[in-house]
């Protein structure tokens, strides 16, 4: 089972605080319960997070909580609304949120990302929740613009929470993730990522 020790590459203090709290409230379950999330435990993270409730019949997400540091830049209110109702490029955020729920998985990366049609440099993480401890029904998304200065950025990588194998971590020499954990079948296994997919086109800043 994944532990905090599998994420030494999470460098941003805000992102790491959210990840640490997520593991603290996991309490032996595959996923922590949303009601165990304690805002008082991560006060500095609050302006940089959003909490999304999964709507299974619509295969989309409802924004339940949104911090002002990132979501305050939007021109439309986000709380209590579906992604498509307040974000122009909602599909770019919706796809990884669905992966976090379906696999289930922690998704983490840093570099250039499209957020509501605008490129920004950020370190980001998506942390799934489940009221029954197993079936994902919400995702906490934290995006901090305090990106550490480094030569190599990490593409958005998926860490399978049900996998029995050791997650693939960034290469210590280059900082690159050359493959990610994905649960393709009921028996979870690691799947090498082709070089052409290592950094998706939506993650590259146009020149």
User: How far from chain centre, in Å, is Cα 168?
Assistant: 16
Q: Are 148 and 122 in contact (CB under 8 A)?
A: no
E strand spans, 60-176: 60-66, 105-115, 118-129, 138-144, 154-160
Joined tokens for residue 181: 């954990």
Per-residue confidence band for 159, with pLDDT thresholds at 50, 70 and 90? confident
- Mean pLDDT comparison of 76-80, 129-133, 165-169, highest-scoring range: 129-133
Of 22-26, 170-174, 200-204, the one with minimum mean pLDDT is 200-204
**Phi and psi (nearest 5°) for 105?**
-155, 155
pLDDT digits (tens, 9 = 90+) for 139-150: 999 988 755 455
DSSP for residue 130: -
Among the listed residues 135, 133, 174, 141, the one whose alpha carbon sits nearest the alpha carbon of residue 51: 141
Residues 52-66 have pLDDT tens digits of 999 999 999 999 988
pLDDT tens-place string over residues 67-83: 887 776 666 778 888 98
pLDDT the model gives residue 72: 67
pLDDT attached to residue 146: 58
Alpha helix (H) ranges present in the chain?
13-24, 68-71, 83-86, 90-102
pLDDT for 131: 94
Q: How far is CA 192 from the centre of its chain?
A: 20
Domain boundaries, the chain: 4-203
Tokens of 110: 């840093």
């Amino acid at each position: 089972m994944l532990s905090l020790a599998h994420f030494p590459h999470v460098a941003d203090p805000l992102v790491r605080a959210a990840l640490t709290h997520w593991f603290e409230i996991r309490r032996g379950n595959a996923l922590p319960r949303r009601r165990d999330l304690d805002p008082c435990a991560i006060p500095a993270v609050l302006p940089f997070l959003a909490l999304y409730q999964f709507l299974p019949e619509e295969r989309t997400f409802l924004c339940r909580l949104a911090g002002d540091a990132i979501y305050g830049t939007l021109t439309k209110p986000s709380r209590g609304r579906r992604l498509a109702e307040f974000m122009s490029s909602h599909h770019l955020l919706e796809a990884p949120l669905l992966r976090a729920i379906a696999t289930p998985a922690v998704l983490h990366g840093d570099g250039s990302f499209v957020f509501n049609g605008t490129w920004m440099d950020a370190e980001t993480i998506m942390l799934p929740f489940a009221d029954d401890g197993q079936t994902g029904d919400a995702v906490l998304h934290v995006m901090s613009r305090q990106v550490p200065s480094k030569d190599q950025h990490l593409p958005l990588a998926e860490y399978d929470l049900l996998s029995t194998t050791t997650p693939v971590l960034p290469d210590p020499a280059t900082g690159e993730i050359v493959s990610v954990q994905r649960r393709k079948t009921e028996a979870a296994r690691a799947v090498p990522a082709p070089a052409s997919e290592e950094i998706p086109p939506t993650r590259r800043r146009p020149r």
